[in-house]
Amino acid sequence: MGETNFVSTQAIRLIKAAILQSRYMAARLANEEQLKLYYAIGKYVSENTRAGTWGTGSIEIISNQLQQELPGLRGFSVSSIRYMRLFFEAWDSFLEGAISNHHLASDDLQRENNPVSKNQLTTESERDLLALSLNHHSTSDDLSNFMSIGFTHHREILSKTSSIDERLFYINQCAVSFWSVETLKYHLRENLFAKQSNTLNNFNLSISKKDIRAKALHSFKDEYLLDYINIEDPDDCDERVLESVIVSNIKKFIMSFGHDFCFMGNQYRVLINQKEVFIDLLFFHRSLNCLVAIELKRGDFKPAYSGQLNFYLSALDEYVKRPNENPSIGIILCKGADEKFVQLSVRDVNKPIGVATYKTANDLPTELKKVLPNLDELKRLL
């Protein structure tokens, strides 16, 4: 009987995993197809409106006609079609090298010889309405992330940013950290991209390997949103209380930092000549192939913190790091940090140390707290 229950449990677990994986893949593929369609429509509208082929008010005509012929159709309002045009125009040059064009397999897109009128939206160039097919190269995470987030996310990013680098930054963050639209809006308002100046670390001086240095600079941020931490009186809590809440929500904490982090433990014990030292949080970063020690501080950064963490990193490299691994990296996670204090504190330290600040649910505006999604529910749906 016990064996039957074990087999049943295993079977349910495997089938459940297969169902969730299938749902995720189906949702991802559907999202890719939607983005391809919107890009193609944006291309078609751009080429005809910018060249003057269509007259004034053509987008309004298209939107109204679509609503009449496809009652209940959503996502094709006048503003949405304009965003499709902007979507194409903003990304055309960036995606040019990764585009493979194919004609849309739809009878509605057959070429017509009649000229455009208010009742018949066809042109000689209608044959150029093409579907976008991105060739996903294994080395191009940007393209994969680009296709994995929804059009609403793209709309917000396009409307609030101006440079390709900034847009790619937010796209990658949305994809890797599973940001909701409201979380994206929050980071856009806070101008998170501008805060990623990497001035709060000494990685450029302390990491000798160029590829590892680049990955480290990309992997860590200057500020983290830990909106799942809700402490009644955060000013009175000590580091252990903060640590306990993080450990209780360790999956969410890792998602905040990035998918390559593997949790090794809290109050991680290192024995040095029969004396113990304890590291608040210890992770292993798969991409960097190194240990990452995180020290939690409830207040503002103090120069003494960098000396303490430098000692911990030396201990990790001597007693815990394996021969094939890269030198350990340390992060001081605190409530606030003066940039100049940090720069002077870590500049002459030989171990790679970064400082990052955090915001909890208590720091967020009331209106944002109400609309932030439940991360467990989001993961369940995915």
Q: How many domains does the chain have?
A: 2
Q: Give the list of residues 6+ apart from residue 266 with CB closer than 8 angstroms, or none.
A: 243, 246, 247, 280, 281, 282
d(CA 223, CA 254): 14
Distances (CA, A) of 229 to 175, 190, 307, 359, 365: 22, 19, 28, 9, 14
110/204 same-domain check: no
Q: Give the list of residues 6+ apart from residue 228 with CB closer than 8 angstroms, or none.
A: 249, 252, 361, 375
pLDDT attached to residue 116 = 40
For residue 269, list its beta bridge partners: 278
pLDDT attached to residue 151 = 94
- 297 within a domain of the structure (yes/no): yes
Q: Give the list of residues 6+ apart from residue 103 with CB closer than 8 angstroms, or none.
A: 109, 127, 130, 131
CATH classification of the domain holding 269 = 3.40.1350.10
263/349 same-domain check: yes
DSSP string, 271-283: EETTEEEEEEEEE
- Cα angle value 124/126/130 (rounded, 5°): 145
204/343 same-domain check: yes
251/336 same-domain check: yes
353/205 same-domain check: yes
99/210 same-domain check: no
Task: Identify residue 353 by its one-letter amino acid code.
Answer: I
Task: Identify residue 116 by its one-letter amino acid code.
Answer: V
CB atoms within 10 A of CB 81: 22
As given in the structure block, the two tokens for residue 284 are 């292993």
Which of 109, 135, 161 represents a domain boundary (last residue)? 135
d(CA 85, CA 156): 14
As given in the structure block, the two tokens for residue 221 are 């941020």
DSSP annotation of 148: H
CB atoms within 10 A of CB 191: 12
pLDDT < 50 regions, the chain? 1-2, 97, 99-139, 368-373, 375, 378-379, 381-382
User: What does the pLDDT look like over 73-85, one tens digit per residue?
Assistant: 888 999 999 999 9
As given in the structure block, the two tokens for residue 126 are 């209608």
250/374 same-domain check: yes
Name the pTM for this structure. 0.56
pLDDT attached to residue 7 = 58
117/263 same-domain check: no
- 295 within a domain of the structure (yes/no): yes
Pairing verdict, β 353-360 and 223-226: parallel
Question: Given its phi and psi angles, is residue 48 left (phi above 0), alpha (psi -120 to 50 degrees) or beta?
Answer: alpha
- 187 within a domain of the structure (yes/no): no
Question: Given its phi and psi angles, is residue 273 left (phi above 0), alpha (psi -120 to 50 degrees) or beta?
Answer: left
Extended strands (E) in 128-245: 130-131, 223-226
Give the CA dihedral 236, 238, 244, 250, nearest 10 degrees: 90
Structural domain boundaries, residue 108:
35-135
As given in the structure block, the two tokens for residue 137 are 């190269």
Which of 135, 155, 173 represents a domain boundary (last residue)? 135
d(CA 285, CA 282): 10
- 149 within a domain of the structure (yes/no): no
User: What does the pLDDT look like over 242-276, one tens digit per residue?
Assistant: 898 889 888 888 888 877 899 999 999 999 999 99
Pairing verdict, β 353-360 and 326-334: parallel
As given in the structure block, the two tokens for residue 172 are 């990658």
pLDDT attached to residue 181 = 92
123/212 same-domain check: no
362/269 same-domain check: yes
- 69 within a domain of the structure (yes/no): yes
- 125 within a domain of the structure (yes/no): yes
Q: Among 189, 226, 215, which Cα is nearest to 289's?
A: 215
218/85 same-domain check: no
201/100 same-domain check: no
- 172 within a domain of the structure (yes/no): no
pLDDT attached to residue 279 = 96
Query: Which of 132-141's residues contact partners 24+ apart within 8 Å by CB, and which partners?
Result: 132/35, 132/36, 132/39, 132/40, 132/95, 132/99, 132/101, 133/36, 133/99, 133/100, 133/101, 133/102, 134/32, 134/95, 134/98, 134/99, 134/100, 135/98, 135/100, 137/98, 140/98, 141/172
Residue identified by tokens 């304009």 is 82
d(CA 20, CA 134): 25
Which of 135, 151, 184 represents a domain boundary (last residue)? 135
